[in-house]
Structure 1
């Protein structure tokens, strides 16, 4: 609510009740009361980063600029989450193995996966002082967002954090489970220099150095426990660790220091992403990268000028920690940007002119004819969206398969069917070992059936990073549990409360300072 609307509301309340005055005189009185709340007060800090490399004779403007990063004490943010009484009964204080009556391993939350279990083992083995300590994974997520196309400062780069011990349904519901911990700098330059190696390297270095500073308050407590109050009122000895990082594909490349179009998780060759070669990055590969940058770039797709921020922290490997991203890899990526686009291109190519337009119109009519049913969305105009959202794509996935039958070759229908089988499995809250076997079968079927798009000359190859990511879901689910608890839709929906609504409330003239204050006030209200 804007300041003027708050003043108006207080005046209306006061005018309507002469005996009992309004709770606040005006917006200033309201804000001062909120600011005086002692709980949840984690002040914003900042540091400045500048380019310290060689300046050419006609240096671009970005080399002389200062880039300010705003952040809060991440340890205090996580301690607030851990002590939040609303989370009592929804926090896993230890890693766990969940099994069915038939002794099948069930993967649910992050703490049910093998990664948390192995991390807890390593912590216990590192020192006798760590016995009975609680392992607290730090889930991170970042994604640049645009609030307006008409203002000068329209891009913001929030960094979010969430306690990995929280059960997945609490993280998806937010309720204080996802907190904005920093606003990263967004370096910009003109079209001439934006693709230069120097600028791209600086942008990557800026992010990793910023993350090192932001995460530094936790460094000491990644090897030695700290006594912390928990949601159930008990105090526990806590050891933190860098957990899964939620990011879309461009962000994953930036985090993994990997060249665009390569896989950020494995060393599969650039032109073999459509195969089954998924070899993990050797632990010392990033250090070797600094010795021979050309060889690392050409041979492994690694940007050798930058070391990932995780190299500074114990038991952390960014290639291992990149979380599965259902929204951008599966829903928007493979389904919307690939399958729907390829099928549309096939119909247009195989049936030129009016015949192709008639087939596409028939496809839209079939989609629009889907009967009303709980959980099904009605698409009145078929696929014709002015702007696709993740919800649009998820709704279309439920009705797209039957609409295809008879309009395209059976192999294309089988491709979509195999892909949807994969989708239904990875969208479950609980995934068993049997489900994982079916997942692998659906991936193999999908890879076999999609060859039809090469046969009909829609694609020359299918060496695509987002489709290649399907190969990693089996291991990622075993490591981190069901992917729904680590999807980028969690951070994207947080943009509304943390970025977009505070921006609308601001003067929109250098608004970041006002947005930081709004976020701090919201945190104080949430603690009450």
Structure 2
């Protein structure tokens, strides 16, 4: 029986499920897609949406008072940076016609870019091959493929202004009702008439208010919106793959968005980049010069990545925000989330120089205690002290007597002290460090010493079953 070729059709049926952009060729494909992709789907309320509380005690009316920072209050301006009345409505968004696909020339280009880059995640070399074959088939008709090569595709995507832009989180319109532009204190009125402070989102923290006090010492900053940059990095190893299987990603978020937005995977937390992992021959692995080079490269990389924010830390930038208004934005580096290994590199101290424990699980790299005198009275590391030591003390003395290895990347930015920005990595330092590596191992050793190896294993098996 001769082979019968299928006919090509351009008809597409959109999936009716909210948020799904899949296009299907026929009703049969639509049914299969719904059964496989949306079999267990259900409606999820948007984060921040008020929920009914049926508990009578919880329904008791609560009185809250918000006290915003008096100087860095996130006032609104026009596009030229001129002060305007807070009651003025934001300018309407630009009207865009249904057939305007700028910077794409047509819908075909947009869907091709979306498929190759977002869905298929095709490599650049394979994109070039596909576009070449596409171009050959169109050449007989005097036409050309949507893109010349993968570089043309990437450049077009980079100038796309449609949709969410994750690297300008404070401007994402999806966050307009779940973002704070000024530090604040939230007060709850108690039954006895007194007020108690409520801490919830990042901008309600004392750190944000105190940082705003420092920035507000410059009158140029008054009326600006403070945007703290939260960073986090963690070296990881993947078990699947060939070649290099260790990576060092760094992530970024802004402190203005509410906690529910950051937890809901709505582009409030983005991958900023991958830090370099230097390699060398095994005989140089533990060489002091190589380790110093690795730390210097780490700090230089961070300084280079954050360089574009440096001017915005001293000169406010007029920026459109999520609610459509323009504000003068001033940036500042906020907490850096890292495990102990990276905290050591971040503050530039010697490994195991000081292991002062605070709140059980927080390895503190900010303490000036010597390894042989952890219980004595000691102060904290400060940026001013670090600068003074680097200017007055030679490198050898810094290493031997102070445990300081290199200068920190934050020395290139204003109003920053890395020792005050360190934040613990809960996964490594609390869950894995304290619970798994300490408590679990301690209990296992205790059972074995108390009841013997065989009985201890029986007890552990019983614990596992529970």
Please identify which structure carries the higher helix content.
1
CA distance in 2, matches of 1:276, 1:172: 41
Structure 2: where are the runs of 5+ without partners?
Answer: 1-7, 13-22, 29-106, 117-145, 148-152, 355-363
CA distance in 2, matches of 1:265, 1:9: 66
Relative to the length of structure 2, the TM-score reads 0.61
Cα distance, 1:40–1:347 mapped onto 2, change above 3 Å: farther
Cα pair 2:382 2:417 within 8 Å, conserved? no
Please identify which structure carries the higher strand content.
2
The match for 1:89 among 159, 164, 177 is 177
Alignment of 1:112-511 (within 5 A): 112-126=204-218, 128-148=219-239, 150-261=241-352, 262=354, 263-271=364-372, 275=375, 279-290=379-390, 291-303=393-405, 306-364=406-464, 368-369=465-466
* TM superposition shift of 1:314: 0.6
* TM superposition shift of 1:25: 12
Cα distance, 1:25–1:309 mapped onto 2, change above 3 Å: closer
* TM superposition shift of 1:354: 2.4
* TM superposition shift of 1:29: 8.3
Cα pair 1:308 1:318 within 8 Å, conserved? yes
Flag the structure with larger Rg: 2
User: Which protein has greater RCO, CA pairs closer than 8 Å, 6+ apart?
Assistant: 1
Give CA-to-partner distance per residue, 1:81-120, whole Å, 9 cap, x none. Answer: 1110111111111001122224222222221111111111
* TM superposition shift of 1:173: 2.1
CA distance in 1, matches of 2:179, 2:394: 45
Alignment of 1:509-520 (within 5 A): none
Structure 1: where are the runs of 5+ without partners?
Answer: 1-7, 43-75, 370-528
Corresponding position of 1:503: none
Relative to the length of structure 1, the TM-score reads 0.55
Give CA-to-partner distance per residue, 1:397-436, whole Å, 9 cap, x none. Answer: xxxxxxxxxxxxxxxxxxxxxxxxxxxxxxxxxxxxxxxx
CA RMSD of aligned residues (A): 3.4
CA distance in 2, matches of 1:357, 1:171: 42
CA distance in 1, matches of 2:403, 2:291: 15
